[in-house]
Amino acid sequence: MASNVYIGLVHYPIYDKRKKVVATAVTNFDIHDIARCARTFGAEGFFVITPLESQIHLVERLIHHWVAGGGSTYNPTRKEPLSIVRISRTIDEADREISGLWKRKVKRIATGASRHPRSVGFGSLRKILEDRNTPFFILFGTGWGLTEEVKDGADYVLEPIEGIDYNHLSVRSAVAIVLDRLVGDRLG
């Protein structure tokens, strides 16, 4: 049975360090690391969300290199994870693609490094994801994080990963920990 979990890496709309809404640049390491985590934990798809044409071309080239080009023979362990990467111009566009496949409304989960009035714990969300008839779309922000508007529009806002007086994980590390906590050791 296909997994009901999808990941979105959002490059717009995103806060910069001054809380201005911007489009961030795509980072190669994000795509590789997150695709490999998504594949490890059985996520069904990983959407890279960016409206910038230059960035879209960059991601397309990267996927092509590892899935069909020279990289696919140099390191075949990269081929499978990058096969689940999709590119979307907006969160809504990715959402429509998922709901089109499922013929069901997608439930969105926003993540972030700070507490939110609506924060849901990892344990509770893990149980919610057990509803296999509903597709869930977990959104991760780049830069200084997802905008309040994106959080307000989400069905759930996940509690932050708590550190010891410090919580500035890279988005790559955050995705790894969040997926492990929410669907790690879940079978299929």
Closest separation in Å from C-beta 83 to a second copy: 11
**Nearest to a second copy of 97, 180 (CB atom):** 180
- Please report the DSSP string for 27-80 in residue order: -HHHHHHHHHHHHHTT-SEEEEE---HHHHHHHHHHHHHHHTSHHHHH-GGGHH
**Nearest to a second copy of 103, 168 (CB atom):** 168
Closest separation in Å from C-beta 80 to a second copy: 6
Residues in contact with a second copy by CB under 8 A are 17, 29, 32-33, 36-37, 39-42, 75, 77-78, 80-81, 161-164, 166-170, 172-177, 180-181, 184-185, 187-188
Distance CA 64, CA 79 (A): 9
Q: How many of the other CB atoms lie within 10 Å of CB of 152?
A: 11
**Nearest to a second copy of 117, 166 (CB atom):** 166
